[in-house]
Amino acid sequence: MVKQMRFGLLVIGLATLLLFGSVSFTTQSQGVLSLDMRWCLSAIVLAVESLLMVWSLYQVAIAIAGLWSPKPPAVQLKRQPRILCLTAAHNEEKVIAEHIRNLQAMDYPSNRYDIVILADNCTDQTARIARKLGAHVWERHNPSQRGKGFALYWALHTKANLKKYDAVCIFDADNLVDPNFLSVMASHIQNGHVAIQGYLDTKNPWDSWVTTSYASAYWFMNRFWQRARIVLGLSAALGGTGFCLSTAVLRQVPWEAMSLTEDLEYTIRLILRGYKVHWTSQAHVYDEKPVRYQASVPQRKRWMQGHWSTALRYSKPLLHSFLFRKKGRMRALDMLIYVWQPAFVLLMGANLLLSAAQWFFGTTWFYPWLITYVPAPVWGVLGAIGFSLPLLAFVLERSNWRAFAYFPMYLLFNVSWIPVTVEALRHIHNTEWVHTEHNRAINLEEIRRVRNHP
């Protein structure tokens, strides 16, 4: 763990020494230099706390909408749209069989959907197993263009005949979905939505404290991020798997997202073209998460690398869309704030260090401007909301008691994003895709039993 994050931990350690050294010098010395240092530290505290307060107030205001329910589909299915179920797979021989059986068992006419396994640079038995089970297999071999983004572009715009289908559902090979998944997506497609994200859930929530932390984050995000934005008319975000795109929108906005977070990039491309991503709680997709902390670090680092690069690439277009377009301005602003999430993670890390310095040295080393003018109850309320929203999500999403028991570990897991984000910033230009190994070959019935009775 230390080896994987040693640069991030080193940066945090040096920042701690620099801050505590500066504060100690300011509190123990007299003179012009000490006064200048105090003004400098005061400016840093003011900047960090002001940005975090504004960001927190915005997120809380959005999250409150998650207590309401989005409007259900307005019309019933007049006909079953023809759907391509496309699964990106790289060396997934351990889980591909259960995934295919799960898709074959969906409550949707078998002649209205095709199952295609995109075997991308596979060197194992993934393709052979998929063919044996009756799925269509498209094999792609291009070692110089590795990653899901490249594979999906090749499949959607080179291999697939999009005129044959009304929509495409994208999955990962470790996924399992509810039997009604395609029916729900079809109803939303007929209601005019062009991109729909399903309810992302965890396949193995109780395997370890790490998987429970992932699951807790999913339950929180589904309720107070995705659902809240749909209620407010903003755009949800594609979550990498378990989503549906109309072929009409794919022809207008081709899948040209090649970053390490291709889902976030394509979400932004849709917003910039005036579309939005819908979200539904009626169609669950279950995703396998790493059991060991060491395995989670490369995955989260890859996400943050893609987040950083996407923020740098798309901030200007999003800002332009917010300032000068009449349609979808607030969606563009909301997404602009979201893409800079890594920066706010670092600000939270800085605030933790500043809080530690205040606890250790008191408040004599800086001018507490914001603390003075913002009443103490405001800080207390924001802190209470920050802690209580995940717990409320556990209740509303009908999680098991174990999520509450592991809540302290969930908080620790969130803190661990700070060195991961520092590491990602260091490797922001590294676009090498790292495969996450999957091993949990279980069926849908086992998932339901495990989630409800750990």
Exposure letters 74-113 (e unless 16+ CB within 10 A, then b)? eeeeeebbbbbbbbbbbbbbbbbbbbbebbeebebeeeeb
Predicted local distance difference test score (pLDDT) of residue 354: 94
Joined together, the tokens standing for residue 54 give 């504004």
Query: Which burial class, exposed, middle or buried, applies to 267 when counting CB atoms under 10 A from its CB (0-12, 13-18, 19+)?
Result: buried
Predicted local distance difference test score (pLDDT) of residue 452: 61
**Mean pLDDT taken over the chain:** 92
Predicted local distance difference test score (pLDDT) of residue 2: 54
Predicted local distance difference test score (pLDDT) of residue 247: 98
Q: How does pLDDT run across 348-366, given as a tens digit for each residue? A: 999 999 999 999 998 889 9
Amino acid making up residue 373 = Y
Sheet containing 243-246, strands listed edge to edge, beginning at the edge strand earlier in sequence: 136-140, 113-120, 83-89, 167-172, 243-246, 195-202, 278-287, 176-177
Joined together, the tokens standing for residue 80 give 């079953």
Q: Are 289 and 331 in contact (CB under 8 A)?
A: no
User: Which domains are seen in the chain, by residue range?
Assistant: 20-454 (3.90.550.10)
Predicted local distance difference test score (pLDDT) of residue 235: 98
Q: How does pLDDT run across 282-297, given as a tens digit for each residue? A: 999 999 999 999 999 9
Name, in order, each residue with C-beta under 8 angstroms of 440's C-beta and a sequence gap of 6 or more: 95, 174, 203, 204, 207, 288
Ranges in the chain, pLDDT < 70: 1-4, 32-33, 73-76, 451-454
Joined together, the tokens standing for residue 209 give 């404290």
Q: Which of 270, 341, 267 is nearest to 304 (CA)?
A: 341
Q: Which of 190, 212, 175 is nearest to 79 (CA)?
A: 190
- Residue whose pair of structure tokens reads 């008319």 in the numeric block: 233
Predicted local distance difference test score (pLDDT) of residue 75: 62
Predicted local distance difference test score (pLDDT) of residue 61: 94
